[in-house]
A = this chain, B = another copy of it.
Amino acid sequence: MHFTSEQRLDDGVVEREFTLGEIPGTLWTPESAASAPLVLMAHNNGLPKADPRLVARARYTAARGYAVATIDAAGCGDRPRSAADEQARADLRRAMQAGEPVDEIFESFIGPMVEKAVPDWRTTLDALLALPGIDGPVGYSGGWTALGIRLAVVEPRIAAAGFFAGGYVPRAQREEARQVTVPLLFLLQWDDEGNPRQRALDLFDAFGSEEKTLHANLGGHTGTPWFELEDGCRFLDRHLK
């Protein structure tokens, strides 16, 4: 892991860019803490790690005492896309313009994208936990629910997960949701146009966790109220600190 830049931000957070082989990432840590539990934070469906909403959540969480990391995994962000992904994205645009169903198209590129992203996240997790001042147990928090489900199933170091029910979750992850057993907080926007409410409620129902909490708020996809950021940190506090 090579750090390529370091910046002290005015909220007492240090932001460092890194590379790990082909993987570019960002790590936010609280300046004041000698050590901090690690939180992995991914943005939905391969959106770039520099997305302002992700960065805002990461900085808030780091200021609350966590080491927060994100990466552009294989096929995500600005990393090269496969020809199949490019085709799927073109199909998706065409289908959406024509008002046709898009589930199968989402399935054809989000499914493989999750599979390819997981090894990069696990490699990153290994490298981060080898750094001084970064502790397990590890939390997952963020928009990419499908990736979070997959990681929670295969990665025993993940001890708690916060999911946002706001994007396409492939069939494979909907089916393996019952294998997720860590405590979880599931965030739903009640009127999220692109995310059928019943499908989100069914997914919440499917998780195998004995402690699972749903927070639903009125409003559309990007309308999550600010206090959910604080609630999300308090959820992590209960399980990681």
Contacts and interface: CB of A to CB of B under 8 A. Distances in A.
Contacts of A2: none
Interface string A168-191: 000000000000000000000010
For the complex, would chain A's binding face be called helix, strand, loop or mixed by DSSP majority?
Answer: mixed
A11 interface: no
Interface string A209-223: 111111111100000
Contacts of A190: 205, 214
B216 A213 contact: yes
Nearest to A184: B218
Contacts of A238: 227
Contacts of A210: 218
Contact of A212 (B201, B218, B231): B218
A212 B217 contact: yes
A176 to B, nearest CB: 18
A211 to B, nearest CB: 7
B211 A218 contact: yes
A215 B215 contact: yes
A215 B231 CA distance: 11
Contacts of A201: 201
A204 B227 CA distance: 19
Nearest to A204: B216
A82 B201 CA distance: 42
6 contacts: A209-B218, A211-B217, A213-B216, A213-B217, A214-B214, A216-B216
